[in-house]
Amino acid sequence: MAQVHLRDVVKNYGPLEVVHSINLDIADNEFVVLVGPSGCGKSTTLRMIAGLEEISGGEIFIGDNVVNDLPPRERNISMVFQNYALYPHMTVRENLGFSLKIAKRPQAEIDKAVDEAAEILSLTPLLDRKPGALSGGQRQRVAMGRAIVRHPDVFLFDEPLSNLDAKLRTQMRVEIKKLHQKVRSTIVYVTHDQVEAMTLADRIVIMRDGHIEQIGTPLDVFENPVNTFVATFIGSPPMNLLNGVVRDGAVVLEDGTTVPVPPGYQAREGQAVQLGMRADNVMPVGHSLPPTEHMAQIEMDVNLTEPLGTETLLFAELAGAEVQAKMLNPRPVEAGERMTFQVMLDKCHLFDAESGAALRG
């Protein structure tokens, strides 16, 4: 049983505070993914949970115990490091079995665990090599293997797939998911890659500049971003944001286009806002959007198209901002063509222009 709780955890390096009083509750067996731009404090947070970095304030619980003062080896965790951190003088086999050897497990058990992990990670042919003779991706898999041979209370992964090619990454993502279903343990996983975050996570934690911006299920953070940062960080392509002012229950964009305030949102008369809409919810008229109650129509000039096969991404201009839209059942589009688009209003968002916070009513 291992829940992890972070209570007002702070980290400073000298006078520089890099993690600002964060709170996070991770349930037993939960798969939590930390995402955020580079330098936002993901690794630091993970390393504080691991005990590799002293915390400057607050408390960390693993299970029911405060682990603030426990060294890593007493926390029963295993970790995959961002830059592998393999033991260069040991073979892959020795690297994988090292933690079990330190724990004085019988050799037969070690061999079995190592062979199993090597099998899962396709490392069997490499078992007798040294890390120096492996490619980046192979090293990363050894680092993963080293974490999974044990059965720790908590797995900590710091961008474990960042150096793999696209195919291997997809494959490994599936393996991690399977692993989690099989061994049922708590996982804290750091990544840049929001696809990884969306597909793996039970819950996503979005961080920025040492703060947690939002915690929620993948669907939740995708559908109900609490601010413009989360809205543009999660989802690909990023959500379109258009500046406007609220007049008579509608958002008036800078060029005079009006779009009704999306259902579920509320704004003061005259408030400066940003209207958010995802490309998936902006489509040329006549292109397969099921008619719903809340529809708005806008006219835009298409500047550029990006055919992706089954769909085409359209880059259009509205009120001086770039808007990305999607066209299913693609047809050829001329650059500069003026098209009428349908916007699914009930999938749109409204944010305060100044604070960026969602204006949920």
Partner 1 sequence: MKSLKLPPWLVLLLPAIIILAAVVLIPLVLSLYSSFTAYKLTRPDSLYRWIGTFNYEKAIGDAKFWAAFGRTVLLLTVALNLEMLFGLGLALMVSKVTRGQRALRTMMMFPMMFSPILVGFQFKFIFNDNVGLVNNALQSLGITDQAIPWLVDGNLAMFSIIFAEVWTATSVFAILILAGLYAIPKDPLEAAKVDGCTAWQSFRYVTLPFLMPFIYIAMAIRSLDVARAYDIVQIMTNGGPARRTELLWTLIGRTGYVDARMGYANAMGYISIFLAIFFTVFFFRKLTAARAELGMGV
Q: Which residues bind Mg ion (CB under 5 A)?
A: 43
Minimum CB–partner distance for residue 110 and ligand ATP (Å): 32
Q: Judged by CB under 8 A, does residue 285 bind partner 1?
A: no
Q: What share of the chain is helix, strand, coil (3-state, %, to 5)?
A: 25, 35, 35
Minimum CB–partner distance for residue 138 and Mg ion (Å): 21
| Residue closest to Mg ion (Cβ) | 43
The entry of ligand ATP, partner 1, Mg ion, none that residue 13 binds, CB within 5 to 8 Å by partner kind? ligand ATP
Minimum CB–partner distance for residue 275 and ligand ATP (Å): 30
The entry of ligand ATP, partner 1, Mg ion, none that residue 51 binds, CB within 5 to 8 Å by partner kind? partner 1
Which range touches partner 1 (CB under 8 A), out of 25-33, 96-104, 333-341, 353-361? 96-104
Minimum CB–partner distance for residue 290 and partner 1 (Å): 51
Pick 83 or 181: Cβ nearer partner 1? 83
Largest CA distance in the chain: 76
Helix (H) / strand (E) element for 6: namely strand 4-13
Pick 17 or 94: Cβ nearer partner 1? 94
DSSP 68-122: TT--GGGS-EEEEBTTB---TTS-HHHHHHHHHHHTT--HHHHHHHHHHHHHHTT
Q: Are 170 and 137 in contact (CB under 8 A)?
A: no
For 170, counting Cβ atoms within 10 Å of its Cβ (0-12 exposed, 13-18 middle, 19+ buried), the class is middle
Binders of partner 1 among residues 122 to 151 (CB under 8 A) are: 130-133, 146
Minimum CB–partner distance for residue 67 and ligand ATP (Å): 19
Q: Judged by CB under 8 A, does residue 309 bind partner 1?
A: no
Q: Are 313 and 324 in contact (CB under 8 A)?
A: yes
Minimum CB–partner distance for residue 355 and ligand ATP (Å): 23
Long-range contacts formed by 135-141: CB under 8 A, 24+ apart: 136/163, 137/163, 137/164, 137/165, 137/168, 139/84, 139/86, 139/163, 140/80, 140/84, 140/164, 141/172
> Which residues of this chain interact with partner 1, rule CB under 8 A?
50-52, 71-73, 77-79, 81, 83-89, 98-99, 102-103, 130-133, 146
